[in-house]
Structure 1
Amino acid sequence: MIDVAIAIDGESVNVTRTRLVGGDHNEDGDWVEGAPVTATIRAAIQPVKGHQLMDVPEGVRTEAGWMCWSRSDIDDDDTITASGVSYRVLFTWPRAEGGFYRAALGRLA
């Protein structure tokens, strides 16, 4: 059996992960987003194949065009930027084992 983490390491490049951290309600009760925090992580981004999206919610399937694998944590709504192209993390698959994260991405305009 192939060690997926080793395969991911072999295909990964440096990308930027941006995540909103914090956030709170102001005096009027309106939600104010937290501050963006960026980090350089290593990830492999590839075009999606149809069968890879079978367990993704239907609304996400139409937007997802790329898959991302990384040994760094990836959360829904993170932004991944690679080679000047930004993607939004639409869906992540929890991985209790294996030492890696997998996510469906949609390209941002």
Structure 2
Amino acid sequence: MIDVAIAIDGEAVNVSLTRLAAGSYNADGNWVPGAPTTSTIRAAIQPVRGNQLMDMPEGIRTEAGWMAWSRSEIIVDDEIASAGITYRVLFTWPRMEGGFYRVALGRKTK
């Protein structure tokens, strides 16, 4: 059996991962969104293929154009920036038995 984590490590590059912290209500009862935190992770980003689209929920298929694989935790609505392009994480497939995360990405417009 192929160890996917080794393959990911071989293709991964440094990318920027931005995650919003949980928000809270202030003393006046107004919602205050959490601050974004940015870190560097290693991920392999590739264009999505037809067979991979079939694994996605139907509403995500039209927006998803890229897939990423990483050994770092990635969650829905994280943003990944690579080579001057920012992507939003649309869907995740955590693979605890393989030690990696597979995610569907949609390109963000400015």
Q: Same fold (TM over 0.5)?
A: yes
* Correspondence for 1:97: 97
Count of equivalent residues: 109
Report the Cα offset of residue 57 of structure 1: 1.4
Query: Please, what TM-score do these two structures have when normalized by structure 1?
Result: 0.94
Q: Which runs of 4+ in 1 moved over 6 A?
A: none
Report the Cα offset of residue 95 of structure 1: 1.4
* SS at 2:75 equivalent: coil
* Correspondence for 1:79: 79
Report the Cα offset of residue 18 of structure 1: 0.1
Letter in structure 2 aligned against 1:70: S
Letter in structure 2 aligned against 1:47: P
- RMSD over aligned Cα atoms: 1.2
C-alpha distance in structure 2 between counterparts of 1:29 and 1:64, whole Å: 36
Question: Unaligned stretches of 5+ in structure 1?
Answer: none
* SS at 1:22 equivalent: coil
Report the Cα offset of residue 26 of structure 1: 3.4
Percent identity of the aligned residues? 72
Question: Unaligned stretches of 5+ in structure 2?
Answer: none
Query: Please, what TM-score do these two structures have when normalized by structure 2?
Result: 0.93
